[in-house]
Amino acid sequence: SRLQLQSVATGQVILLDIAASPGEHPLEPVRIVRNDANQAADESSTSPPSATPTPIPVMLTRYAAQSLYAPLRTVDALPGVRRVPLKLTGELPTLLPTENVASTPIAAWRLGDYWVTAVKLRNRGAGHVQLDPRRLQASLFAATFQHADLGPAGSAEDTSVAYLITRGSGLERVVLPAPGRTRGDGDEG
C-alpha cells in the first residue's frame, strides 16, 4: 500500500510504500527520519522568510497554482504557508462587473501578512473575454490569471483561475459587496 503523508508546516508530501508479509515476526514501530534542509524548516518558526530573493506574493501565487493544478507530490514546499478557510461563498458578481463572467472563490492560502485566493472564472457569453487585472473591482495587492483569456461558453477554454493577492486580510474585506448587500451580510468574519 502507498501512504501519502504531508507536513502541516511546509506542505511537503512524503510517499511511503508499506508491505506486509505473513509470519510470526514481532511488530516494530515505524519512525520516519528526514535528514535534509526541510527538516530544519519544519522545526523552525512558521513565519515567512525574512530575506527571500523571490517576493512573497510571487511565491504564494506559484504555490496556489501548483496546489490546484499539479499532482500533490510535486508541489514545492513553502515554509509557513497554510490553507485558510474561505469566508466568501458563492458567486462574486462585483469582481468583474464589465464582463459576462461567473467568479467563484475555490481556495485560499496565507503566508505571513499576504493572502492568495484562487477564484474560478467561467465565461457565460458567446465571445472571447480578454482578462485584464485592471478590470477587477477590489482593492488588491496583485492579481494573476492562469490564462490570458476565456473562450466562448461551452468550449474547453471557457474557464480559468484568477489568483488574487491581498495584504492584511482575506479577499472578503476587499471585494465590493453585491448590490443590495453590505459587507458581512451572510458572510462570517
Identify the burial level of 175 via C-beta atoms within 10 angstroms of its C-beta, where 0-12 means exposed, 13-18 middle and 19 or more buried.
Answer: buried
The pLDDT, as a whole number, for residue 35 is 62
Residues 6+ apart with CB under 8 A from 113: 167, 168
pLDDT for position 189:
43
pTM exceeds 0.85 for this model:
no
pLDDT, tens digit only, all 189 positions of the chain: 777 777 666 666 777 777 777 777 666 666 666 665 544 444 444 555 555 588 999 999 999 999 999 888 888 889 999 999 999 888 999 999 999 999 999 999 999 999 999 999 999 999 999 999 999 999 999 999 999 999 999 999 999 999 999 999 999 999 987 776 554 554 544
Give the number of other Cβ atoms within 10 Å of residue 178's Cβ: 16
**C-alpha grid cell for residue 129?**
473575454
**DSSP output for 129-185:** EE--GGG--B--SEEEESSSEE--TTSTTSEEEEEEEEESS-GGGTBPPPTT--TTT
Give the position of cell 486580510: 169
- Rounded Cα–Cα distance for residues 173 and 167 (Å): 10
CA distances from 39 to 1, 10, 47, 89 (A): 25, 10, 15, 36
What is residue 147's predicted lDDT score, i.e. its pLDDT? 95
- pLDDT confidence of residue 39: 46
The three-state secondary structure class of 38 is helix
DSSP string of 99-125, one letter each residue: SSEEEEEEEEEEETTEEEEEEEEEE-S
pLDDT (0 to 100) of residue 11: 66
